[in-house]
Structure 1
Amino acid sequence: MNYHRYYPVDVVNGEGTRCTLFVAGCVHQCPGCYNKSTWGINSGKPFTQSLEDQIIKDLQDAEIKRQGLSLSGGDPLHPKNVPTILKLVKRVKAECDNKDIWLWTGYKLNELTDEQQSVVPYIDVLIDGKFVQDLADPKLLWRGSSNQIIHRFK
């Protein structure tokens, strides 16, 4: 998996102070997307064990109280990203007490493949659906267009 940006401290992408990872790869390529640079699956930089370890360390840092991890992109549930995302979310749940995980995807929850569904039990909040420019609303929290749904699992 490749990624474009990692923010160890972020207050925009989900509730509270968070770590946020923007991954590479998106098949949806929605018109009006603000993150077009992340569409190519081979764009960005390789996601390494070192970065995974840093994310865990940042989430465990008691000095900055982070609420959790946000995964965006691109699309974390791009088929080529799923194995790495699954490994990461399992590790966060195992090693980072009480940290929530938010994930944005262009796929609809009811359309996920079995492999993509394997990530869902580790996610606390899933924002699904393609960005639709005609339904864009800057007043919406944590989503770009009104067709996107915020699913809270826990």
Structure 2
Amino acid sequence: MTAHQLRLSGVVEESIVDGPGLRFVIFTQGCPHQCPGCHNPKTHPFTGGFCMDIETIFEQFQENPLLDGITFSGGEPFMQAAPLVQLAKKIHSIKKHITIYTGYVFENLLKMSKQNRAIIDLLTITDLLIDGPFLLSQKNLELSFRGSANQRLLDQQEMQKLIQQC
């Protein structure tokens, strides 16, 4: 795998359940959380899936002018923060929205960013972050864009407030 590639589990070219509006969704491969009850357990192994060039993903995304944005899901997207930053910049260059699902809580991502600058770079370009592990004990199918009640929807303004608090 090169610096301009992502290891993916899959791609969904149109989704209305993985963030606001019509979304292009990439499911990254590899997850350290392995939450019991996860709806994507095949994404857990770091050696599974397939590699795809960032440029190819961007070209596929651009084929549908009706898309509102892209969603990075998983697996755990922040395990591949550097190449996702490259893709996110391309997506923002055409004024499209970026949603990311992560099993980490935002505050832990901030701590991790001290060792990996790409994490804070990805957070600052994210329009909507859904954070926190899936907790089977808090499963709630009535929540928008979330699987369990502990998960938060954080827009860029809310993330900036949390950064100032930390």
TM-score scaled to structure 1, two decimals? Answer: 0.88
Cross-structure match for 2:81: 82
Trace 1:83-122 onto structure 2 (pairs within 5 A).
83-94=82-93, 96-97=94-95, 99-112=96-109, 113-114=112-113, 115=116, 116-122=119-125
Cα displacement (A) at 1:50 = 4.9
Distance 2:55 2:127 in 1: 25
Contact 2:58 2:87 in 1 (8 A): no
Q: Which amino acid aligns with 1:143?
A: R
Cross-structure match for 1:144: 147
Cross-structure match for 1:45: 50
Q: Which amino acid aligns with 1:102?
A: T
Cα displacement (A) at 1:53 = 3.3
Over the matched positions of the two proteins, sequence identity in percent amounts to 28
Structure 1 pair 82/14, CA: closer, same or farther in 2 (3 Å)? same
Between stretches 138-147 and 6-15, larger displacement belongs to 6-15
Cα displacement (A) at 1:52 = 2.4
Give the paired residue count. Answer: 146
Match of 1:43, SS state, is coil
Distance 1:25 1:71 in 2: 13
Q: Which amino acid aligns with 1:66?
A: L
Runs of at least 4 residues off by over 4 Å: none
Cross-structure match for 1:28: 33
Q: Which amino acid aligns with 2:26?
A: L
Distance 1:103 1:131 in 2: 14
- Structure 2 residue 138 is matched with structure 1 residue 135: yes
Distance 2:121 2:91 in 1: 15
1:56-86 per-position Cα deviation (integer Å, ceiling 9, x unaligned): 423xx43xx21111110101112xx111111
Distance 2:89 2:55 in 1: 17
- 5+ residue gaps, structure 1, are none
Distance 2:144 2:54 in 1: 32
Contact 2:54 2:83 in 1 (8 A): no
- 5+ residue gaps, structure 2, are 1-5, 158-166
TM-score scaled to structure 2, two decimals? Answer: 0.82
